[in-house]
Amino acid sequence: MTTSTEPYVLNIGPQHPSTHGVFRLRVVMDGEKIKDLDMIVGYLHRSMEKLAEERTFTQNIPFTDRADYLAAMTGNLGLAIAVERLAGVEVPERAEYLRVIFSELQRIASHAMANGTLISDAGAWQTPLLYMFREREKILDLFEMTCGARLTTNYMRIGGVAFDPPVEFWPALQELVDELPDRIDEYHELLVSNEVFLARTRGVGVISPEDAVNASLTGPVLRGSGIPWDLRKADPYSVYDRMDFDVVVGKSGDVYDRFMVRMSELYQSVKIIKQAISQIPSGAHKTDIPLALRPDEGEIYSRIESPRGEIGFFLVSDGGPFPYRFHLRAPSLINLSLLNELGRDAALSDAIVTLGSLDIVVGEIDR
């Protein structure tokens, strides 16, 4: 005997505690089960790509802060590298190391945030999130020391970085790097063997390797599904080819694996930063480039590994000071595209945790 039920529509977002910004899910539900799910984006659209066509290449760097606002450094770096490759600008050695240090710091901060919010979505009352914030706070302090801003750093420049870090920066960084592994161990203790957390995340939102590749997912979401693909190794940029580190790959592609990949990448990032500190040469932190840089006519697609995946910049230059076309390949948007498949026939709670594990930043999706 079955009781006939009536599906109903639930609007999750744009104002909702777990949509990570202004992102809307229109869910058709049957009881606690999701029957169908629409993702509605565009609430944060600022027409960034069009605006970029009216700005010089350097003036576009602040836009990349506001695209992926949780990983401003890698956004900056992506654009800087794209323009450098387009215009053939040389970067001093010291700047390359500074770039590596700051993008890895940013990766730690961003992964901490991602994992913290994921656990908050699973229902822990913000404790892990705030523990993660402890380290993120110190990293943001380091950013503030160096470039004056904590979130929208605007630090990378075409041909180097904006400032050389002050003298206080290095001991503070050393202290942070020394204590970070212990702190990450602490999170492991708190979370990794937590039965409730395991029950909520294992076997939930499984992405098969084939699906992950076909949907062109990138970043920890792809690696969580077992595909060993990291642009820092696969297509090295900056001085990553001189660093000794491993790429973390999950096994089953569920929420837990994506969480663990991010967790373990923290150790690798610390390892990279340590090597960069020991190897960093002295010298200039920036090459001088003309204020209105005019690259030769041409186009380029340049990609780097942001905390969320492959952040790519497609730039077309017509020889003028402004880009003729500016396109941002946002990893969040493409990683999100699988949510429809993952959420269907899942419980509402599982869909929320899955969404949290995809680690989206709405600024980057809408641009």
Partner 1 sequence: MDSPGIVIGFYMMAGLVLGSGTLVFLARNLLHALAFLVISFLGMAGLFLTLSADFIAMAQILIYAGSISVLMVFAVMLTPLASRDNGNTIYVLPGLLAAGGIATFVGFLALDTSWSGPATDFTTTIDLIGNLLLGKYVLAFEIASVLLLFALIGAIMLVQISPSDPEEGEGR
Partner 2 sequence: MSSDTRPATPMSRQIAEHRSLLDRALGLPKLVLVALSVALIGFVISQILIGYMVVSGQLDGKWYDIRDFGNAMVSLSDAINSSGMDSRIASTLTYLIPTLLGATGIVSVVGGWLLIGPWAERRLLAKFQIRQGPNRTGPFGLLQSLADALKLMQKEIIIPRGADRFLYFAPPIAVFIPAILGWAPIPWSPKMSYADLDVGVLFVIAISSLGVLAVFMAGWASNNHYSLLGAMRTIAMMISYEIPISVSLLAVVLLTGSTKLSEIVMWQSEQGVWLIMLIPFAALAFLFASTAEINRTPNDIGEAESEIVAGFYTEYSGMKAGLFMAVELGNAILVGALMSTFFLGGYTFFGLETWIPGYLILATKIGLVYFLFVWIRATLPRFRLDQLMGFAWKFLIPVSIALMFLTAIESSILVRWDAPSFLSLGLIALVNVAAAVGLTFVWMRVLFRDTDLSAPPAPILTRKMGGLQAAKVLRG
Q: Which of 73, 75, 70 is nearest to 52 (CA)?
A: 75
| Interaction partner, residue 233 (partner 2, partner 1, none; CB < 5-8 Å by kind) | partner 2
Q: Determine contact, residues 275/138, Cβ cutoff 8 Å.
A: no
| Interaction partner, residue 209 (partner 1, partner 2, none; CB < 5-8 Å by kind) | partner 2
- Token reading at 313: 């910049």
Of the pair 5, 340, the CB lying nearest partner 1 is at 5
- Token reading at 152: 């929208």
| Interaction partner, residue 291 (partner 2, partner 1, none; CB < 5-8 Å by kind) | none
Determine, following the binding rule CB under 8 A, whether residue 96 of this chain makes contact with partner 2: no
Q: Which of 123, 60, 137 is nearest to 314 (CA)?
A: 60
Contact residues for 342 (Cβ-Cβ < 8 A; gap 6+): 205, 207, 351, 354
Of the pair 31, 319, the CB lying nearest partner 1 is at 31
| Residues facing 327 on adjacent strands | 314
SS3 of residue 302 by DSSP: strand
Total interface residues for partner 1 by CB under 8 A: 5
Determine, following the binding rule CB under 8 A, whether residue 227 of this chain makes contact with partner 2: yes
Contact residues for 50 (Cβ-Cβ < 8 A; gap 6+): none
Q: Determine contact, residues 362/336, Cβ cutoff 8 Å.
A: no
The pattern of x and - marking residues 55 through 74 that bind partner 1 according to CB under 8 A reads --------------------
Determine, following the binding rule CB under 8 A, whether residue 349 of this chain makes contact with partner 2: yes
Q: Using omega within 30 degrees of 0 as the cis cutoff, is the peptide bond preceding 17 cis?
A: no
Q: How far apart are CA 68 and CA 329, in angstroms?
A: 11
Q: Which residues between 165 and 204 bind partner 2 (CB under 8 A)?
A: 167-168, 170-172, 190, 192-194, 196-200, 202
Among 17, 31, 203, 320, binds partner 1 (CB under 8 A): 31
Of the pair 273, 351, the CB lying nearest partner 1 is at 351
Q: How far apart are CA 5 and CA 159, in angstroms?
A: 62
Measured in whole angstroms, the distance separating CA 225 from the mean position of its chain's CA atoms is: 17
The stretch among 43-51, 206-214, 309-317, 337-345 that binds partner 2 (CB under 8 A) is 206-214
| Interaction partner, residue 1 (partner 2, partner 1, none; CB < 5-8 Å by kind) | partner 1
Determine, following the binding rule CB under 8 A, whether residue 47 of this chain makes contact with partner 1: no
Q: Determine contact, residues 356/341, Cβ cutoff 8 Å.
A: no
Question: Using CB under 8 A as the criterion, which residues of the chain lie in contact with partner 2 when the complex forms?
Answer: 8-10, 16-18, 29, 32, 119-127, 130-131, 134, 137-138, 141-142, 144-145, 167-168, 170-172, 190, 192-194, 196-200, 202, 209-210, 213, 225-230, 233-234, 246-252, 256-257, 260-261, 264, 347-350, 352, 356
Residue ranges in contact with partner 1 by CB under 8 A: 1-3, 5, 31
